[in-house]
Structure 1
């Protein structure tokens, strides 16, 4: 297979996995709710006052607690696992192909610098 075909397939698969395995999870629940108004646009003018009276700048507020993170990661891992188990199932694949259409206008993915920095045992394709 040509490298450009591999890149196209990997990009489409990454976007579909993001929709199926990450986006439509508890992450949506965490994303729901009110967003504070920021006149600066970057949140630097927003503070949260907690029950102890601490005034915490928005940039320092944890927006997800440990239990929520643990539950979110479990759900994402379970969905990724199920995705891989079912990808050869024609009915599942048909549904995934429909979801792919919704990601067509998303930005093209690019290599992640952290994962890309892991040394490869095989030469890079090119």
Structure 2
């Protein structure tokens, strides 16, 4: 996972590391965004191309943290967030306009020595 401009220069990451998170499972995008925001996380904004119709439709509703959606008919999407010390990918499922979190993966920044 790549980290944004807040990440220290030359930082590397350790994925699967324990990173404290609020209770985001089974939360909609809007509720998840609020919970994560209170904990210092920000949504990473992605520029969408027309090849990913689902992510582009979400972006049109100002849900720009959706980075990719599978074309399986199950609407599995990946939403990305960052904090000074970590990155987060949240996986969703369902066709709803406000997809529900079904899993996540964290990566923690390790500053250079």
Which of 1 and 2 has greater Rg?
Answer: 1
TM-score, structure 1 normalization: 0.18
Which has the larger strand fraction? 2
